Structure 1
């Protein structure tokens, strides 16, 4: 099966409320196992077995080695509604350019374990990722994080500054503190109630509006069904429980106040049509309209992160690496080749 990339963060209002999409064509309704059994990844899946919080866990990951190595490793951290597989286009672009690419499924996501009662923290996920890399003999890497993966990448860089050669943040969430701005607290029970309403139609509607700036390509449907299939399968309870606790982690563990401490050279890639904000739909109308303003948030973050360069894609949404891969990868690879000289002009 040849896949064609996608997956990220905030499946908030549309995802959980089950909005329908009148423009979507009928599709197969696959059901996948709790660890995404039955969904084929574009590269062979490896497994890292370890003990965490008293439980034996399995962390799935992709390890793609280039034909002409340049001696550098890129670690790709996926978003909340994404998996390692949705980095497919970026894995190919980076591998073709000589980078070894490691793309894990974090614990609680996709093909990795969804342990009962696991305490999700960004520190824990960063520690798990660091242990995976150590098991592979990787001490230094370029860390690239998208959406929730961007929030995790910032935490990783704060915890292990000497292990991060360069940092790339792709429409990261966490560029604002939603709670401090007035988004009401939601209990874990409340997140679980939202999980009970997840549907493919809701996922598709949310992704169309937020990830792709009200555009749609049939190739995106693979990623809708990847996510929806886990909710149709026999592991829905485990998937929902992990997802709810992950949303609680995102909403209550800001990295926003530590931007000034991020040490590595940083590239911030922002789709200006992005409007992602956790819990936006629960906020009062006057607050809701101020949230998820990525053209503003990107500029503010770039001023605060010490060695940051900002590139904006005016016409793209939350997932520029999928919506416009050629443009996205030209900028990414240009900066990785020589971050001191700046970045190519966005066309």
Structure 2
């Protein structure tokens, strides 16, 4: 009996060791090419249409007001390393305040199509978004754009000025023209090779340093898993290729030259410690030293936009809506209430 008991105990210990080892080497979560398997905070719907000769679809969330409806709609446009889902807290807050909220994923991102061949432009993405809103019966809206979504929001507002009641940009990138400032050009093929290597550790390291001013919070990990899991899933190459095309669009299509043409009340919400600048990793030291200075860029942008209000979040980085949700949403709701 003692031998049998000893053998049984040894087997249990061995099983525990093997299980622990398996857990240590288990691969991180991966998702399908349209982020299949990732849980969105609200029901995910799809808008199917034809674009550039291809059948494509945009994923989106359409969330009704949970508080007393005020008849206003806010459209939330995500950034390059974000998705509609990353607006989770903003959707909840705006909905509770009486707003209908629509948060789409743009073509090439997240739950939307990743075409093999697509000519990316902010005009095309704006037209796609406008078509979605028309189908939903939304003819006037508050347009809110974060990061790359800020560039898209600007283009949308320039294309459809009569349908944008207010424009909000949250740490938009493209407040300067990197190529004109001396940042070297990466070809699409070079971006593609870079994106093929993307992994969770690199994403976390980059975002900690560039987005969050060295301060990492456990709740950010969900968005790292989302981004890395999409890239490393079964759509790996197609996801990386679309990402490369999108980076080229961002680098080559600055919109801040046209800020002077914005005709609607505009709110700039800027974490002033942000240092995001596309291509800064390959820029010469003298160029790198002068780009991505949001404590300067926010003020410069506010002077270019005719009806601009600037709210700066001292010491915050690229995503103040995630870093200090309460302060951010209080400021946003107060400004919207005045409009």
Q: TM-score, normalised by structure 2?
A: 0.91
Structure 1 residue aligned with 2:203: 203
After superposition, the C-alpha distances for 1:62-104 in whole angstroms (9 at most, x for unaligned) are 0000132100000000000000000000000000000000000
Structure 2 residue aligned with 1:93: 93
Unpaired runs of at least 5, structure 1: 1-24, 340-347
After superposition, the C-alpha distances for 1:5-25 in whole angstroms (9 at most, x for unaligned) are xxxxxxxxxxxxxxxxxxxx9
Conserved 8 A contact 1:260-1:306 = yes
After superposition, the C-alpha distances for 1:141-188 in whole angstroms (9 at most, x for unaligned) are 000000000000000001110010000000000100000000111111
Conserved 8 A contact 1:210-1:273 = no
Q: How do 1:318-329 residues align onto structure 2 when only pairs under 5 Å count?
A: 318-329=318-329
Residue 315 of structure 1 and its aligned partner are, at CA, apart by 1.6
Residue 205 of structure 1 and its aligned partner are, at CA, apart by 0.6
User: Matched residues in 2 for 1:324 and 1:89: separation?
Assistant: 11
Q: How do 1:87-236 residues align onto structure 2 when only pairs under 5 Å count?
A: 87-236=87-236
Structure 1 residue aligned with 2:290: 290
Structure 2 residue aligned with 1:41: 40
After superposition, the C-alpha distances for 1:232-280 in whole angstroms (9 at most, x for unaligned) are 2110011001000000000001102111001110000000110000111
2:237 match: secondary structure = helix
Structure 1 residue aligned with 2:333: 333
User: Matched residues in 2 for 1:125 and 1:216: separation?
Assistant: 31
| 1:82 matches 2:82 | yes
User: What is the number of equivalent residue pairs in this alignment?
Assistant: 315
After the TM superposition, which of the residue ranges 235-244 and 188-197 deviates more from structure 2?
Answer: 188-197
Residue 282 of structure 1 and its aligned partner are, at CA, apart by 1.4
Residue 311 of structure 1 and its aligned partner are, at CA, apart by 0.6
Conserved 8 A contact 1:65-1:101 = yes
Structure 2 residue aligned with 1:3: none
Conserved 8 A contact 2:46-2:58 = yes
Structure 1 residue aligned with 2:54: 55
Say which structure, 1 or 2, has more relative contact order (CA 8 Å, 6+ apart): 1
Structure 2 residue aligned with 1:66: 65
After superposition, the C-alpha distances for 1:196-222 in whole angstroms (9 at most, x for unaligned) are 221110000111112211111111100
1:299 match: secondary structure = helix
Conserved 8 A contact 1:195-1:244 = yes
After superposition, the C-alpha distances for 1:103-133 in whole angstroms (9 at most, x for unaligned) are 0000000000001111110000000000000
After the TM superposition, which of the residue ranges 113-122 and 206-215 deviates more from structure 2?
Answer: 206-215
266 and 34 in structure 1: CA distance in 2 versus 1, 3 angstrom threshold:
same
| 1:302 matches 2:302 | yes
List, as ranges, runs of 4+ consecutive aligned residues in structure 1 with deviation greater than 2 Å: 25-28
307 and 190 in structure 1: CA distance in 2 versus 1, 3 angstrom threshold:
same
2:246 match: secondary structure = helix
Residue 27 of structure 1 and its aligned partner are, at CA, apart by 9.3
User: Matched residues in 1 for 2:164 and 2:262: separation?
Assistant: 10
Conserved 8 A contact 1:77-1:145 = yes
